[in-house]
């Protein structure tokens, strides 16, 4: 295992950034309605708008999901650290070098 550097506060901030960007992406305003125009080009524009709406949802969902994974990782690191601390602290007895015997 290589070096592991991690900060719970940093991961919390990172998860927040993913969440903010997911909101930013989904705050798209929606495509302007196509109510007129020549038939073929208007249909093509509507088609692109549908694709864009789908992509907005996909990207926003992916950002939110990645943010959630970062949150899960943070919880995992904290849990592991706590478990390690408990395991190490649970070792009974000290060295008994001072004041014994």
Binding site for another protein (CB under 8 A): 1-7, 9-14, 17-18, 21-22, 24-25, 28-29, 31-32, 34-45, 47-49, 51-52, 55-56, 59, 62-63, 66, 69-70, 73, 77
In this complex, which beta carbon is closest to another protein, that of residue 40 or of residue 101?
Answer: 40
Listing DSSP states for 75-96 in one string gives HHHHHHHHHHHHHHHTS-----
CB of 16 to another protein, least distance (A): 9
The set of residues, in sequence order, having a beta carbon less than 8 Å from that of 58 and lying 6+ positions away, is none
In this complex, which beta carbon is closest to another protein, that of residue 35 or of residue 95?
Answer: 35
Nearest of 25, 16, 26 to residue 67 by alpha carbon: 16
In this complex, which beta carbon is closest to another protein, that of residue 76 or of residue 85?
Answer: 76
């Amino acid at each position: 295992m290589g070096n592991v550097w991690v900060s719970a506060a940093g991961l919390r901030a990172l998860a927040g950034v993913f969440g903010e960007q997911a909101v930013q992406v989904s705050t798209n305003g929606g495509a302007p309605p196509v109510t007129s125009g020549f038939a073929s080009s208007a249909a093509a524009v509507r088609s692109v708008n549908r694709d864009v709406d789908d992509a907005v949802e996909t990207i926003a969902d992916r950002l939110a999901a990645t943010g959630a994974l970062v949150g899960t990782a943070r919880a995992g690191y904290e849990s592991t650290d706590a478990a390690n601390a408990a395991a190490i602290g649970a070792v009974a007895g000290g060295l008994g070098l001072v004041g014994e015997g």
